[in-house]
Amino acid sequence: MNHSLASTLFVSDLDGTLLRKDATLSEHTIQTLHQLIDEGMAFTYATARSIQSAKRVTAGLRLNLPVITRNGSVFADQETEAILEKAIFSKEDVSLLKSLLPELPHCGFVSSYIGDEMIKTYCDGDQSLGLQEYVADHADDHRMQVTADSNALFGEQSGYVTMINDYEKLAPTYERVRSYPNWECVFQKDTYGEAYWLEICPRTAQKPRRS
C-alpha cells in the first residue's frame, strides 16, 4: 500500500472537474482512479447532484467510500444509493424560505424526504424555461412530483431548494436570501447550458465542511 495515498483523503467535484464537457467520465479516468484506489488511495467526490444523478454520470466508477451529494446535504452510498446521512431545514427555516421566495413556484423545486426516499416537488402552470427544460429532461424520473398548490412544495423533511432561470431574474433573489445564517446559497451558471442555478441548503451541509 502507498502510505502517502492512504493517509490523505482526495475529494473531487464532478461537473467541470472530473467529468468531461458531455458530463461523462472517460475510460482513462475510470481506469486511473481504480488503479489508485486499489493501491490504497482514499477517494470520493462531492457534488450538487443527487446520488441518483451522480451515479448515472459516474457509471463504471467503483468507490469504497461514501459520496457527498446535494452540496453536502446528503452522504450516500455510491453503489446502493442508500442515504447514510442527510441535513434538513428546520420548520422556522421553511417558513422563512416560503416568505422570501415568492418566485419559487415559477422557476424551482424543493427536494424533500419521505424516509430515505427523496422527492422533488415543483408547480405546474407558468414555468421558467430553465425549469421546463429540467422537468422535460427528468420526465421518466419517478422522484419528480408536480403540484398545483405552491404551499405543497415543501414537505415534512425538506433539505434543498433549486431555482433555474436567467441571471437577471435570479440575481435579486440571491441577494435577498444570501445573508441569512441558517443556510448556504450557491448561485452559478449551469456548466452545460445558459441558465443560472440558485441552490439553497442547510448551512451545516457545505461540501467543504463535509469533506
- Nearest-5° angle of CA 50, CA 74, CA 13? 60
Q: Could you give the CA distance from residue 175 to residue 179 in angstroms, rounded to a whole number? A: 8
Instruction: Report whether pLDDT(2) > 60.
Output: no
DSSP letter, residue 61: -
Domains recognised in the chain with CATH numbers:
3-86 (3.40.50.1000), 91-210 (3.30.1240.10)
Residue 5 confidence (pLDDT):
57
**pLDDT tens per residue, range 8-41:** 899 999 998 999 989 999 999 999 999 999 999 9
Q: What is the mean pLDDT of the chain?
A: 90
- The DSSP element (H or E) to which 122 belongs, if any, is strand 117-123
Instruction: Report whether pLDDT(189) > 80.
Output: yes
Residue 210 confidence (pLDDT):
46
Close Cβ partners of 140 (under 8 Å, ≥ 6 residues apart):
none
**124 exposed, middle or buried (CB, 10 Å; 0-12, 13-18, 19+)?**
exposed
209 pLDDT tier (thresholds 50, 70, 90): very low
Q: Say whether 131 sits in a helix, a strand or coil.
A: helix
Give 20's Cβ-side CA count (13 Å radius).
8
152 pLDDT tier (thresholds 50, 70, 90): very high
- Mean pLDDT along residues 123-143: 94
Q: What's this model's pTM, rounded to 2 decimal places? A: 0.81
- Mean pLDDT along residues 68-89: 90
Out of 18-27, 124-133, 138-147, 197-206, pick the least confident. Answer: 197-206
176 pLDDT tier (thresholds 50, 70, 90): very high
Q: How many CB atoms lie within 10 A of CB 101?
A: 22
Close Cβ partners of 109 (under 8 Å, ≥ 6 residues apart):
120, 121, 122, 131, 134, 144, 153, 161, 162
3 pLDDT tier (thresholds 50, 70, 90): low
Residue 208 confidence (pLDDT):
44
65 pLDDT tier (thresholds 50, 70, 90): very high
- Mean pLDDT along residues 172-178: 96
Q: Could you give the CA distance from residue 147 to residue 84 in angstroms, rounded to a whole number? A: 28
Helices 167-177 and 91-100, packing angle to 10 deg: 140
- Mean pLDDT along residues 83-96: 93
